[in-house]
């Protein structure tokens, strides 16, 4: 930046042409401070503008044709469904100690419809931390020897074969059901599914097979569904399970349903399959509704921020709102709904929109403040759950196998007395029927609509093209600042040399200097690498810690912290010791370290935005300001001006916020109040993250610690000063 300018001034010659792109780059780098401030603020502002910029959803796949056929689900089917609900609740009252009775009832009902029925027995597989399995496809699980007879779940699976179809594709309907202690809601969800199922056995328009999976949710809904999917997609042909089933007597009981009960009965012990899954719907009914309206909640986030195709959500939304008169609801952060600052921000946007409208009447910008607040709350939760990488329901298991799936949770009005129950059965059943019919219409798999989006309301979304702008603005300053720091570090030394030597010797010295100087950054890169290595070690430590038996979350957390510090010290002493020798020009050294850190951060954030946008966005929000502001404490202390004081305070605050546990507690405190916060909670949270194979964990581990060089450095520089002084 400064170099060419200086030269052109000195030489007094007509300025040689420099490429415009180079000039632009030089311009930006030279004004990096201003640019970074502008970019960061606009990035944050753009994020807050997203709810305003959200577009209305539309159904992009023409073949879906939702709602084009009138629903065929009649009262007869509803009565059938009601019968099942009644039988199930009765059986629960009779024998609650084993759930086998209710499984038999469900299987019998399915058989009576002429469906193919099979039981799938599974052992709950504990989610395990596989340090290097984050992005690999799900495997078929490990064989565990110590299965006990008592701990198994039974999924009941019914399959309707499409009468004229070729059996290449299937649609899955999942109803989680805990036979041991089922609420009324679960029974009702089975009733809805059954009424739809009984309709589908009679229809002629079916082109895809229908699988109804009654997932045994006594070990969690997700575990049952994922166990079934694992068996469906990656079965193991050599297993010990047969031996087990022989040893456990009661499971064999289960299979003794009278095979000849119905003509051409299709009950079998073997696992049954249909074709490639086109889509899956998980249906749940909440026990007690506190709403004043029948509401249906859509949960879509799967592991690592994957979302199902937007068309699936659109179809559900369209059918629920326009056909069945249900209110559709997407998860939102409730705490944000009452925040006054959001409301005022919304009002500002609203008034701005009004101004814009007076200037240009065609301008359709802006939404009402209340809508803005709701949109922001939805967006925030959408971002949060995508960033967390933990699926919000059993549908997450499907996404691991590239199947589009969502969870629908119906919360009925008030109580579930007889009349309302039938109403819910009818409307819920018609909704499911409509969705299945739409998916059945599909000739190709879901591919038309968006996969990368954030929802701001059930009918509004922000697509990747829009939200990437906010992110890009946020991280744009990083390379510029890195470049400017690098140039600073180089040029300052150049000035020194330039002053001391005669102009004739410049060329020689410069050429020699360039070769040495251009490799100087390697030193700082080594430091950064070491700190990253430390981050990797710290994030792998829990794997070993959790092997320690009988450890409370609190103690394991403490062990973790202690081990981390120990490892840092060891690494520092072993690898980073040469760094201590560098004495001269600490400021330059610091600038180089910062520039390398920032560029590595930029690369990390950029890569993460491809994998999981939400994580990258939140990470960028936390870390970009910190990276830009970080400055050694010593230097600031020396300067002692007001500006540097502010900077020190900012540094300290940001440094603490960006520290993962601190951020966690802050967030938790904000949402639930500080009283409930506990050190052990963080351990639990981290444990849940790795249990779900969330990439966020890896990200936190690597990137956060990656940003640590700055903090460490800012502490270390004064330390080294002292060392130098001693010598």
Partner 1 sequence: MALLRRPPLMLILVVTSQFLQLWIAFGSVNEEGQRQEEFYEELLLKPLPDRKVLTHFHFQSSAPPTSNGRHHHLFPKAISQLVQKFRVKEMELSFTQGRWNYESWGGFDSIPSSNAKPPGVELWAVFDVPQHLIDSLWKNLTHTLSGLFCASINFLESSTAYSAPEWSFPPASGNLRYGTLPREAVCTENLTPWLKLLPCRDKAGISMLLDRPSIYRGFYHSQRLHLTSTESGSEGMDPGIILEQTLTVVLQPNSQRASLAHASEKHFQPSWSLSSIFGKQVSGKCVLAETSNVYLLLDRGLVAELKQLHKENEKSAEKVLISENFWTNPCFELSAKPDMIFIEESSLLSKNSSVLYKFEVEKYSEFEPFDLGLTWKIPVVWLCQQAPLHASRFLMGSGNERGAIAISLKSTQLSEGFMGANSDYERCELRVDVFQVVPWYVKVYFHSLQVFVDQQPKAVSDIIEKIHVSPSKDKVSPGVMELVLKLPCSVSSAALTIEFDKGFLHIDEYPPDANQGFDIPSAIVSFPNFHASMVFLGNDSLNKSPLLSKFKEKSRVMSYTEVLLVPLTTPDFSMPYNVITITCTVFALYFGSLLNALRRRVAEEERFLKDKAAKKTGRLPLLLSKLSAKLRGRCLEPTHSAPASLSFINSQLVLKVILVAGLAVRVKVRIEMYADQVEGAGKRSVKERLNGNSFHNSIPRRQTTGKRQRQDEKWEHDLYHDDVPQVSNRTTDARDLRLKLQRKSLQQVSQSGRGALSGVRDLREKLSGTMNPWPVNADPPKLKSDVTKPTRRSVAVETSEPEPQKAATTAAKKKAQQKADASVEGFLQSLGLEKYAITFQVEEVDMTALVHMTDDDLKALGIPMGPRKKIILALESRG
Q: Provide the binding-site residues for partner 1, judged by CB under 8 A.
A: 3-5, 7-8, 13-25, 112, 114, 137-138, 161, 163-169, 202, 204, 233-235, 237-239, 242, 260, 262-264, 266, 270, 273, 275-276, 400-402, 443-445, 447-448, 510
Q: Quote the tokens at residue 620.
A: 């960028």
Q: How far apart are CA 534 and CA 711, in angstroms?
A: 14
Q: Which CB sits closer to partner 1, 310 or 379?
A: 310
Q: Which CB sits closer to partner 1, 19 or 362?
A: 19
Q: How many residues does the chain have?
A: 727
Q: Which CB sits closer to partner 1, 228 or 557?
A: 228
Nearest to 593 by CA among 710, 719, 475, 712: 710
Q: Which CB sits closer to partner 1, 263 or 726?
A: 263
Read off φ and ψ for residue 718, nearest 5 degrees: -60, -40
CB 420 within 8 A of CB 412: yes
Instruction: Output the smallest distance, CB 140 to partner 1, in A.
Output: 9
Q: Which CB sits closer to partner 1, 243 or 566?
A: 243
A 10 A CB-CB count for 321 gives 15
Q: What burial letters (b/e) apply to 442-470, b meaning 16+ CB within 10 Å?
A: beebbebbbebbbbbbbbbbbbeebbebb
Q: Which DSSP string corresponds to 424-447?
A: HHHHHHHHHHHHHHHHHH-SS-S-
Instruction: Output the smallest distance, CB 574 to partner 1, in A.
Output: 35
Instruction: Output the smallest distance, CB 547 to partner 1, in A.
Output: 30
Q: How far apart are CA 588 and CA 523, in angstroms?
A: 12
Q: Which CB sits closer to partner 1, 260 or 362?
A: 260
Instruction: Output the smallest distance, CB 503 to partner 1, in A.
Output: 15
Instruction: Output the smallest distance, CB 538 to partner 1, in A.
Output: 31
Q: How far apart are CA 556 and CA 542, in angstroms?
A: 8
Class of residue 313 by CB neighbours under 10 A (exposed 0-12, middle 13-18, buried 19+): buried
Q: Which CB sits closer to partner 1, 472 or 551?
A: 472
Q: Strand 55-56's sheet: what is its strand order?
A: 55-56, 460-463, 453-457
CB 209 within 8 A of CB 170: yes
Instruction: Output the smallest distance, CB 398 to partner 1, in A.
Output: 10
Instruction: Output the smallest distance, CB 21 to partner 1, in A.
Output: 4
Q: Which CB sits closer to partner 1, 399 or 634?
A: 399
CB 200 within 8 A of CB 239: no
Sequence-distant (≥ 6) Cβ neighbours of residue 440 within 8 angstroms: 171, 205, 206, 207, 208
Instruction: Output the smallest distance, CB 576 to partner 1, in A.
Output: 31
Q: Which CB sits closer to partner 1, 47 or 280?
A: 280
Sequence-distant (≥ 6) Cβ neighbours of residue 719 within 8 angstroms: none
Q: Which DSSP string corresponds to 13-45?
A: SPPPP--HHHHHHHHHHHTHHHHHHHHHHHHHH
Instruction: Output the smallest distance, CB 358 to partner 1, in A.
Output: 33
Q: Which CB sits closer to partner 1, 25 or 718?
A: 25
Instruction: Output the smallest distance, CB 169 to partner 1, in A.
Output: 6
CB 155 within 8 A of CB 122: yes
Q: Which CB sits closer to partner 1, 23 or 638?
A: 23
Q: Which CB sits closer to partner 1, 276 or 335?
A: 276
Q: Quote the tokens at residue 493.
A: 């030394």
Read off φ and ψ for residue 237, nearest 5 degrees: -85, -25
Class of residue 100 by CB neighbours under 10 A (exposed 0-12, middle 13-18, buried 19+): middle
CB 32 within 8 A of CB 481: yes
Q: How far apart are CA 514 and CA 298, in angstroms?
A: 60
Q: Quote the tokens at residue 711.
A: 């903090």
Q: Can you name the residues that pair with 409 across neighbouring β-strands?
A: 284, 297
Q: Which CB sits closer to partner 1, 152 or 177?
A: 152
Q: Where are the alpha helices (DSSP H) in 501-552?
A: 506-517, 521-545
Instruction: Output the smallest distance, CB 445 to partner 1, in A.
Output: 6
Sequence-distant (≥ 6) Cβ neighbours of residue 590 within 8 angstroms: 632, 635, 713, 717
Instruction: Output the smallest distance, CB 227 to partner 1, in A.
Output: 15
Q: Where are the alpha helices (DSSP H) in 161-255?
A: 184-200, 221-233, 241-247, 249-254
Instruction: Output the smallest distance, CB 690 to partner 1, in A.
Output: 22
Instruction: Output the smallest distance, CB 239 to partner 1, in A.
Output: 6
Q: Which CB sits closer to partner 1, 163 or 578?
A: 163
Q: Which CB sits closer to partner 1, 131 or 163?
A: 163
Instruction: Output the smallest distance, CB 644 to partner 1, in A.
Output: 32
Instruction: Output the smallest distance, CB 192 to partner 1, in A.
Output: 20
CB 48 within 8 A of CB 640: no
Q: How far apart are CA 580 and CA 168, in angstroms?
A: 66
Q: How far apart are CA 152 and CA 125, in angstroms?
A: 10
Q: Quote the tokens at residue 210.
A: 């229908």
Q: How far apart are CA 302 and CA 382, in angstroms?
A: 11
Q: Which CB sits closer to partner 1, 168 or 638?
A: 168
């Amino acid at each position: 930046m400064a170099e060419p300018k200086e030269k052109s001034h000195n030489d007094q010659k007509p300025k040689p042409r420099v490429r415009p792109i180079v000039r632009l780059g030089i311009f930006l780098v030279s004004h990096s401070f201003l640019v970074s401030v502008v970019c960061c603020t606009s990035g944050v502002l753009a994020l807050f503008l997203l709810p305003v910029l959200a577009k209305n959803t539309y159904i992009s796949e023409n073949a879906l044709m939702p709602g084009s056929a009138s629903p065929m689900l009649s009262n007869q089917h509803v009565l059938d469904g009601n019968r099942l609900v009644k039988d199930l609740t009765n059986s629960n009252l009779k024998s609650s100690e084993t759930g086998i009775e209710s499984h038999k009832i469900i299987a019998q009902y399915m058989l009576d419809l002429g469906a193919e029925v099979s039981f799938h027995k599974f052992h709950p597989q504990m989610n395990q931390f596989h340090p290097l399995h984050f992005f690999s496809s799900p495997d078929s699980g490990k064989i565990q020897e110590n299965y006990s007879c008592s701990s198994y779940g039974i999924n009941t699976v019914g399959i309707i074969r499409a009468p004229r179809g070729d059996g290449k594709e299937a649609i899955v309907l999942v109803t989680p059901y805990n036979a041991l202690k089922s609420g009324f809601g679960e029974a009702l969800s089975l009733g809805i599914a059954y009424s739809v199922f009984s309709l589908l056995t009679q229809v002629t328009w079916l082109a895809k097979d229908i699988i109804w999976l009654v997932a045994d949710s006594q070990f969690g809904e997700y575990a049952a569904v994922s166990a079934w999917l694992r068996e469906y997609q990656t079965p193991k042909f050599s297993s010990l399970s047969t031996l087990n089933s022989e040893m456990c007597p009661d499971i064999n009981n289960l299979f003794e349903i009278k095979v000849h009960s119905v003509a051409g009965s299709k009950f079998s012990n073997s696992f049954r399959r249909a074709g490639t899954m086109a889509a899956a719907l998980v249906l749940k009914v909440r026990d007690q509704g506190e709403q004043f309206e029948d509401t249906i909640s859509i949960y879509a986030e799967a592991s690592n921020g994957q979302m199902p195709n937007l068309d699936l959500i659109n179809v559900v939304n369209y059918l629920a709102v326009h056909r069945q008169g249900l209110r559709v609801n997407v998860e939102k952060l409730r705490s944000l709904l009452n925040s006054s600052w959001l409301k005022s921000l919304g009002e500002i946007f609203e008034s701005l929109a009004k101004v814009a409208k007076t200037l240009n009447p065609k301008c359709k910008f802006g939404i009402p403040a209340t809508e803005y607040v709701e949109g922001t709350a939805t967006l925030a939760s959408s971002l949060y759950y995508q960033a967390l990488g933990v699926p919000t329901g059993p549908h997450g298991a499907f996404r691991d196998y590239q199947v589009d799936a969502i969870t629908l949770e119906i919360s009925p009005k008030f109580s579930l007395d007889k009349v309302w129950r039938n109403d819910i059965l009818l409307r819920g059943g018609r909704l499911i029927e409509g969705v299945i019919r739409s998916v059945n219409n599909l000739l190709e798999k879901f591919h038309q609509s968006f996969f990368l989006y954030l929802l701001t309301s059930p009918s509004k979304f922000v697509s990747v093209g829009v939200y990437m702008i906010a992110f890009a603005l946020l991280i744009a300053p990083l390379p510029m600042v890195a470049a400017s720091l690098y140039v600073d570090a180089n040029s300052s030394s150049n000035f020194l040399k330039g002053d001391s030597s005669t102009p004739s010797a410049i060329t020689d010295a410069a050429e020699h200097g360039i070769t040495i100087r251009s490799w100087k950054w390697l030193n700082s890169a080594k430091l950064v690498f070491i700190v990253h290595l430390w981050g990797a070690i710290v994030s792998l430590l829990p794997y070993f810690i959790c092997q320690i038996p009988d450890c409370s979350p609190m103690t394991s957390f403490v062990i973790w912290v202690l081990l981390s510090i120990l490892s840092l010290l060891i690494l520092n002493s072993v690898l980073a010791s040469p760094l201590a020798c560098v004495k001269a020009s600490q400021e330059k050294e610091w600038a180089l370290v910062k520039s390398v850190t920032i560029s590595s951060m930029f690369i990390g954030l950029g890569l993460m935005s491809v994998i999981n946008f939400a994580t990258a966005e939140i990470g960028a929000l936390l870390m970009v300001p910190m990276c830009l502001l970080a400055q050694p404490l010593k230097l600031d202390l020396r300067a002692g001006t007001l500006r540097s004081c502010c900077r020190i305070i900012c540094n300290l605050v940001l440094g603490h916020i960006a520290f993962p546990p601190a951020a966690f507690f802050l967030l938790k405190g904000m949402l639930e109040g500080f009283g409930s916060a506990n050190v052990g909670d963080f351990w639990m949270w981290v444990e849940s993250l790795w249990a779900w194979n969330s990439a966020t964990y890896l990200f936190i581990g690597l990137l956060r610690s990656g940003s640590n060089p700055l903090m460490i450095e800012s502490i270390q520089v004064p330390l080294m000063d002292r060392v130098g002084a001693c010598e």
